[in-house]
Structure 1
Amino acid sequence: MTDLLSKFDPLIAEHAGLLSAGIRDPFGIVMDKVLSPTEAIIKGQHTILLGTYNYMGMTFDPDVVAAGQAAIRDYGAGTTGSRVLNGTYQTHKECEEALKDFYGMSHAMVFSTGYQANLGMVSTLAGKGDFIILDADSHASIYDGCKMSNADIVRFRHNDAADLEKRLKRLPPEAGKLVVLEGVYSMLGDIAPLPELVAIAKAHGAMLLVDEAHGMGFFGPNGRGVYEEQGVADDVDFVVGTFSKSVGTVGGFCVSNHPKFEILRLVCRPYTFTASLPPAVVASAATSIRKLMTAHDKRARLWEATRRLHGGLKARGFKLATETPESAIVSVLMPDQETTALMWSTLIELGVYVNMSRPPATPAGVFLLRCSICALHSDAQIDTVLGKFEQAAQMANLALHEPA
């Protein structure tokens, strides 16, 4: 009998090698107790959370928690059905209404996860004979949607408008085309030059889908994302997002003004054939989304904390993925996997949780310690983190650069 898991033997050996070297498992962290959006107990130790994507700190918001508690009391623990059967409760409709109000769009569709939102939209919008043109650094959910679509896939170099134009020019003018972009790219924390990319896509007759998973809540005057911040809202056909970042729950969504949008509920397989979110989750999400509409002070605080961390790491000689803080993701470049794992393990022992990122999640040859800032991180917490990074670098013999 052929062992179907044998193809993973190199990864099994690599993972075992890390653990045998005395490094904590970076992909098996257990939160013993979560104290707040910025603190937890991990293996009995008080830990600052700097890798949770809890950008706006909504997970413990009293109104959000109360909405979830009321919904579980009134509607029960789950729906046991998909949205097109018995899985649409009043809470789901209220959540979609909140999304329409937040984004100023006429249609909203909630998925059970952010992954499914991209999987469903990309695979349903483009089909056999169409083309999907996507940034090479796109999220795995976008790539998986491409595979499921049966469309022809065309990749262009990351954030490279000239390369996008070159590839679009090669495609048949009459063919259906979907250009998929992200407002914020989650590995490096860099943002897309949307005005250039959108103008090129529109000039070649393509429809636009922008994933704002990491931009919702704090980019743009209404917190809608990078596409709003950069002034291209009128040219974007579909916006996809998630509840697991700024909203603080779980789930995904797509919003649009397209007049035929509602048919997607019947033809989008990851929506039609998945049990809907529990009432408590969508009730919490709806309350959080409505509070994000007026969270101006939190947005300002998030950017302030981001600048403090980015500037502090840079001043201490760490090499960062972006020259300036482009988003609430601050990625620290590492020279190799071994140093990355050692730095990550040392930081967790020192009471700081960040994300360890490596290929294939990152571009080839790129190793990162990825930090995501929360609006509720205090100056004292950021300063503590900066000191721990410096201490970890010394313990891991990481050579730091002379600040410019």
Structure 2
Amino acid sequence: MPDLFDKFQPLIDQYEGLMASGLRDPFHLQMDEILSPTRAVVNGREIILVGTYNYMGMTFDPDVIEAGQKALAEFGAGTTGSRVLNGTFQGHAECEAALRDFYDMEHAMVFSTGYQANLGLMSAIAGRGDYIVLDADSHASIYDGCAMGNADIVRFKHNDVADLEKRLKRIPDGAGVLVVLEGVYSMVGDIAPLKEMVAVAKAAGAMIAVDEAHAMGFFGEHGRGVFEQAGVEDDVDFVVGTFSKSVGTVGGFIVSNHPKFEVLRFVARPYVYTASLPPAVVACSAASIRKLKYAHNKRAHLWEASRHLHKSLREAGFTLGTETAESAIIAVKMPDQETSAKMWTALIEEGVYVNMVPPQATPGLHLLRCSLCADHTSAQVEEIIARFKRAAATAGLPLKA
């Protein structure tokens, strides 16, 4: 009888090969101490964090920390129950109220993770005979939510408006349709042409969900996301997001104006059958969300820093995932997995942490993914650029002239 782990052997061999070469392990790095949203201690050395998704630097905000400490003292460490049983405390209701205000929507539903928010919506909203139409580069949580449900799944080419329109025209008349888009795609940091895609989806009579996990906080006038910036707020049926990026905590949510939205609390299994977030987490999240609405200066600084880092790395000869800085994610392309690991190790030695993207996440692409924070100073950004150049020389990475 075969070992059920045999199917993973190629991945095991690849990982062991990298480790045998004497390189650092990019997937088990331990942060010994977190000094700030942009600095940490690893193996006794201070490093600059350039890969945490802490876009707005809210993890150390004094008001956020104070709210969490107060809730911990007053409500305890956990809820020990699902939201539909004993797991809805005052803080959960306040967190959903903060979301409704932030997005100016009628309904908000908080999940224990962002992954579960997508899992819950995709698996519950479309059933047998319905269709979910999604971008080929959609996040794993979207695909997994689709796999949990009984709807037919149709993929269209990444960010291709014409292909979306073509796929929608092939769906049988009378079928229920949900089009799933993302504001910012997390692998290379490119944004969706939401204005055009939403128009095509609405013309086809489809409902629309937009995942704004990597856009909440710094896209749009109020930081609501790409859908706000694109001016399609009134045409989007669901917005899905996470607390683990700009909000700086953990958790997920869906907001909507649909009059029947509240029924999802009874049919979304990842909501019904999961323990709710601890009181301290929802208190921190609510405090953070309230501040993000007015974080105009932070948004402006993050955009300035992201554009400067993108421009400087490109001018230094690095190959990037996007032509311009479309978001706070700057993906640096590597020629192969070995070079990627060498460059990642060289950056750690230089005191810079970035994400080395696992090969299964981006088939055919080898990426070192940077994500900036609104708390990165101009001096830190200049240091990141200088250390990237030195790391490339150490790793033997050829740069474009």
Q: Same fold judged by TM-score > 0.5? A: yes
Give the partner amino acid of 1:386: I
In 2, the alpha carbon distance for the partners of 1:306 and 1:98 equals 28
| Contact 1:330/1:370 (<8 A) preserved | yes
**Structure-1 residue corresponding to 2:392:** 393
Give the partner amino acid of 2:390: Q
In 1, the alpha carbon distance for the partners of 2:49 and 2:333 equals 19
Is it true that 1:262 corresponds to 2:262 in the alignment?
Answer: yes
The equivalences for 1:60-139 within 5 A come to 60-139=60-139
Give the partner amino acid of 1:398: L
**Structure-1 residue corresponding to 2:39:** 39
In 2, the alpha carbon distance for the partners of 1:113 and 1:353 equals 24
In 2, the alpha carbon distance for the partners of 1:358 and 1:313 equals 22
Q: How many residues align?
A: 401
The runs of 4+ residues in structure 1 deviating greater than 4 Å are none
Is it true that 1:237 corresponds to 2:237 in the alignment?
Answer: yes
**Structure-1 residue corresponding to 2:341:** 341
Scaled by the length of structure 1, the TM-score of the pair is 0.98
Tell me the SS of whatever aligns to 1:360: helix
CA drift of 1:361 comes to 1.1
**Structure-1 residue corresponding to 2:316:** 316
The equivalences for 1:5-44 within 5 A come to 5-44=5-44
In 2, the alpha carbon distance for the partners of 1:79 and 1:314 equals 48
**Structure-1 residue corresponding to 2:382:** 383
Tell me the SS of whatever aligns to 2:359: coil
| Contact 1:201/1:207 (<8 A) preserved | yes
Q: Which 5+ residue runs of structure 2 have no aligned equivalent?
A: none
Give the partner amino acid of 1:391: R
CA drift of 1:27 comes to 0.8
Tell me the SS of whatever aligns to 2:346: helix
**Structure-1 residue corresponding to 2:162:** 162
| Contact 1:179/1:208 (<8 A) preserved | yes
CA drift of 1:205 comes to 1.0
Scaled by the length of structure 2, the TM-score of the pair is 0.99
The equivalences for 1:293-332 within 5 A come to 293-332=293-332
CA drift of 1:311 comes to 1.1
**What's the CA shift string for 1:7-46, capped at 9, x where partnerless?**
1111111111111111111110110000000000011110
In 2, the alpha carbon distance for the partners of 1:157 and 1:360 equals 19
**Structure-2 residue corresponding to 1:214:** 214
Tell me the SS of whatever aligns to 2:396: coil
In 2, the alpha carbon distance for the partners of 1:280 and 1:136 equals 37
| Contact 1:109/1:253 (<8 A) preserved | yes
Give the partner amino acid of 2:155: R
CA drift of 1:314 comes to 1.0
| Contact 1:337/1:358 (<8 A) preserved | no
In 2, the alpha carbon distance for the partners of 1:153 and 1:262 equals 25
**What's the CA shift string for 1:27-66, capped at 9, x where partnerless?**
1011000000000001111000000000000000000000
Give the partner amino acid of 1:111: F
Q: Which 5+ residue runs of structure 1 have no aligned equivalent?
A: none
In 1, the alpha carbon distance for the partners of 2:358 and 2:3 equals 27
Q: Percent identity?
A: 69
Tell me the SS of whatever aligns to 1:153: strand
In 2, the alpha carbon distance for the partners of 1:326 and 1:236 equals 21
Query: Which 10-residue stretch deviates more, 270-279 or 308-317?
Result: 308-317
CA drift of 1:135 comes to 0.2
**What's the CA shift string for 1:195-254, capped at 9, x where partnerless?**
111111111111000000000001001100000001011100000000000000000000
CA drift of 1:358 comes to 4.0
**What's the CA shift string for 1:63-119, capped at 9, x where partnerless?**
000000000000000000000000000000000000000000000000000000001
CA drift of 1:2 comes to 3.3
**What's the CA shift string for 1:163-214, capped at 9, x where partnerless?**
0011111111210101000000000100000011111111111100000000
In 2, the alpha carbon distance for the partners of 1:292 and 1:97 equals 14
In 2, the alpha carbon distance for the partners of 1:401 and 1:166 equals 38
| Contact 1:358/1:366 (<8 A) preserved | no
Give the partner amino acid of 2:88: T
| Contact 1:173/1:205 (<8 A) preserved | no
In 2, the alpha carbon distance for the partners of 1:63 and 1:15 equals 42
CA drift of 1:359 comes to 3.3
Tell me the SS of whatever aligns to 2:361: coil
**What's the CA shift string for 1:314-333, capped at 9, x where partnerless?**
11111111111000001111
Give the partner amino acid of 2:32: D
Give the partner amino acid of 1:384: E
| Contact 1:219/1:229 (<8 A) preserved | yes
In 2, the alpha carbon distance for the partners of 1:395 and 1:192 equals 36
Give the partner amino acid of 1:156: F
In 2, the alpha carbon distance for the partners of 1:89 and 1:228 equals 30
Q: CA RMSD in A?
A: 0.8
In 1, the alpha carbon distance for the partners of 2:236 and 2:147 equals 23
In 2, the alpha carbon distance for the partners of 1:380 and 1:303 equals 15
| Contact 1:59/1:248 (<8 A) preserved | yes
In 1, the alpha carbon distance for the partners of 2:178 and 2:338 equals 39
Is it true that 1:203 corresponds to 2:206 in the alignment?
Answer: no
**What's the CA shift string for 1:319-365, capped at 9, x where partnerless?**
11111100000111111111111101110111100001143312x31
